Amino acid sequence: MAGIYFHIPFCRKRCSYCNFYSTASLTSKEALVGAIRKEILLQRDYLRREHIKTIYFGGGTPSLLSYEEISTIFDDLHKYHTFSENVEITIECNPEDITKFKIDEIKRTPINRISLGVQSFFDEDLNFLKRTHTVKNSLNAIKFLQDKGYKNISIDLIFGIPSLKNENWIYNLETAFYLQIPHISAYSLTVENKTLLYSQIKKGKTKAVDEKKVIEQFEMLMKMMKFNNFIHYEISNFCLDGFMSIHNSNYWKNEKYLGIGPSAHSFDGISRQWNIDNNTKYIESIEQNVIPFSVETLSSIDKYNEYIMVSLRTMWGCDIDYIKHNFGEKFSKYCLNQAKNNIRGGLLINYMNKLSLTDRGKLFADRVASDLFMVK
């Protein structure tokens, strides 16, 4: 089974913290949708005819696409791919886009899962993040979706925002529980280079992220999710039973996926490739029947390190037997030896030959993973 990801690189306005490729101009939207449709044709054999289990529209702001644009993309997908039964199809949406009219449009497509970029239920935080929606927009969007029968709804929340007090973070989570949201992705605010937030902090125009607050709010998050019967299946992702994101889970399980659109990444089990992050150059190249991508063939060490990085983030953990079978005994012995200090330090546990992060270890996931990496 495989997945397809579409990167829709348009936003009404860039958020202060975002480093994903996007543009605030919609002038090239029609041409870019045409190029995306053509790339579906050019990439039709990339997944070697495997059945498509998941489709994900990300961005950017995919909810800026019209019904006609989404429909033509599905028409082309059906020409060249076979879908599995119960295929999961997700679209990321900004809350202000979810009007009753927009939902009626979405319901006419095969899309069956909605991911809403709520981020916070406090306008003060949304203003800090330079979001274009309000809390009222979020509440209305959730109600409209539920009234129209959508149950598979995910929302994004951000913690560690300088304006976000601990009691307000608790309120954000309680609001999500009250609204009966079955999937929550919760991320720590990260300051990325070349973002507006990075520049504002560097110039002293806004507060830096307080690491102590980040830890406190992550611990609150884990405790409240567990109390409300949410499964903590990946460091940043929580769900009620039956509402796990299949698409994202397949990323973490190293399943194959095809990325279509500017800056989109693909993985075929042997190599990774990524499209150019420039709308104009992408469109011009596709029009010449050339996919503008770079590629990296992965060595055994690359594949091992990637497996460590993604598997440790999940509730399934890092399977020593899998490492031995796929990379050899040298790698499995190395991994177990490197894990000893973190097991003694209470950051890792080894249960049935699977390494998993403890709750405390999840606070230091990147550091623990790097300790297990093999250097070339």
Task: Give φ, ψ of 2 to 5 degrees.
Answer: -140, 170
User: In this structure, is residue 37 part of a structural domain?
Assistant: yes
User: Which residues, 6 or more positions from 19, have their beta carbon under 8 angstroms from its beta carbon?
Assistant: 192, 193, 194, 195
CB count within 10 Å of CB 367 equals 11
CA of residue 315 relative to chain centroid, distance: 17
N- to C-terminal Cα separation, the chain? 31
Q: What is the mean pLDDT of residues 230-257?
A: 95
Task: Residue 305: give the domain boundaries.
Answer: 300-372
Structural domains in the chain (count): 2
Q: Are residues 248 and 322 in the same domain?
A: no
| pTM, 2 dp | 0.94
Q: Are 3 and 52 spatial neighbours (Cβ–Cβ below 8 Å)?
A: yes
Least confident of 31-45, 96-110, 185-199, 292-306: 185-199
Domain boundary among 216, 234, 252: 252
Q: Are residues 325 and 192 in the same domain?
A: no
**Cα separation of 344 and 206, whole Å?**
40
Which residues on neighbouring strands pair with residue 257, listed in sequence order? 3, 267
Domain CATH number, residue 50: 3.80.30.20
Q: What is the mean pLDDT of the chain?
A: 94
User: In this structure, is residue 269 part of a structural domain?
Assistant: no
User: In this structure, is residue 340 part of a structural domain?
Assistant: yes
Cα 232–Cα 17–Cα 23 angle in degrees, nearest 5: 115
CA of residue 370 relative to chain centroid, distance: 21
E runs forming strands in the chain: 2-8, 52-59, 83-93, 113-119, 153-159, 183-188, 231-234, 237-239, 257-260, 265-267, 271-275, 293-297, 318-319, 348-351, 354-357
Q: Are residues 316 and 248 in the same domain?
A: no
Residue 281: what pLDDT?
96
Q: Are residues 191 and 318 in the same domain?
A: no
At residue 24, does pLDDT exceed 80?
Answer: no
Residue 18: what pLDDT?
77
How much of the chain exceeds pLDDT 90, in percent? 86
Between 300-311 and 329-344, two packed helices, what is the crossing angle to 10 degrees? 40
Residue 134: what pLDDT?
97
CB count within 10 Å of CB 232 equals 17
Q: Are residues 307 and 182 in the same domain?
A: no
User: In this structure, is residue 31 part of a structural domain?
Assistant: yes
Six-digit token string for 371: 């300790």
Residue 299: what pLDDT?
94
Q: Are residues 114 and 201 in the same domain?
A: yes
Domain boundary among 252, 282, 311: 252
Q: How confident is the model at residue 213 (pLDDT cuts 50, 70, 90)?
A: very high
Domain boundary among 187, 220, 252: 252
At residue 20, does pLDDT exceed 80?
Answer: no
pLDDT, tens only, 339-370: 999 999 999 999 999 999 999 999 999 999 99
pLDDT, tens only, 248-286: 999 888 899 999 999 999 999 899 999 999 999 999 999
Look up tokens 């070697």; give the residue. 48
User: In this structure, is residue 127 part of a structural domain?
Assistant: yes
Q: What is the mean pLDDT of residues 177-182?
A: 98
Helix, strand, coil distribution of the chain in percent, nearest 5: 45, 20, 35
Q: Are residues 203 and 61 in the same domain?
A: yes
Q: Are residues 247 and 306 in the same domain?
A: no
Q: Are residues 33 and 147 in the same domain?
A: yes
Q: Are residues 314 and 170 in the same domain?
A: no
Q: Are residues 214 and 317 in the same domain?
A: no
Q: How confident is the model at residue 194 (pLDDT cuts 50, 70, 90)?
A: confident
At residue 207, does pLDDT exceed 90?
Answer: no
Q: Are 232 and 222 spatial neighbours (Cβ–Cβ below 8 Å)?
A: yes
User: Which residues, 6 or more positions from 118, have their beta carbon under 8 angstroms from its beta carbon?
Assistant: 95, 138, 155, 156, 157
Preceding omega of 60 cis (within 30 degrees of 0): yes
Q: What is the mean pLDDT of residues 83-112?
A: 95
Q: How confident is the model at residue 218 (pLDDT cuts 50, 70, 90)?
A: very high
User: In this structure, is residue 350 part of a structural domain?
Assistant: yes
Domain CATH number, residue 313: 1.10.10.920
Does an H or E element contain 298, and which? none
Residue 17: what pLDDT?
78
Q: Are residues 184 and 321 in the same domain?
A: no
User: In this structure, is residue 224 part of a structural domain?
Assistant: yes
Residue 188: what pLDDT?
95
CB count within 10 Å of CB 19 equals 15
Q: How confident is the model at residue 219 (pLDDT cuts 50, 70, 90)?
A: very high
Residue 204: what pLDDT?
83
**Cα separation of 220 and 70, whole Å?**
39
Contacts of residues 345-353 at CB distance under 8 Å and 24 or more positions apart, as own/partner, are 350/320, 351/317, 353/319, 353/320, 353/321
Q: What is the mean pLDDT of residues 176-187?
A: 98
E runs forming strands in 48-152: 52-59, 83-93, 113-119
Instruction: Give the HSE-up count for residue 224: Cα atoms under 13 Å, Cβ half-sphere.
Output: 20
Look up tokens 């579409």; give the residue. 6
User: In this structure, is residue 258 part of a structural domain?
Assistant: no
Contacts of residues 132-140 at CB distance under 8 Å and 24 or more positions apart, as own/partner, are 132/12, 132/13, 132/94, 132/96, 133/94, 133/95, 133/96, 134/96, 137/95, 137/96, 137/98, 138/95, 139/179, 140/95, 140/98
At residue 25, does pLDDT exceed 90?
Answer: no
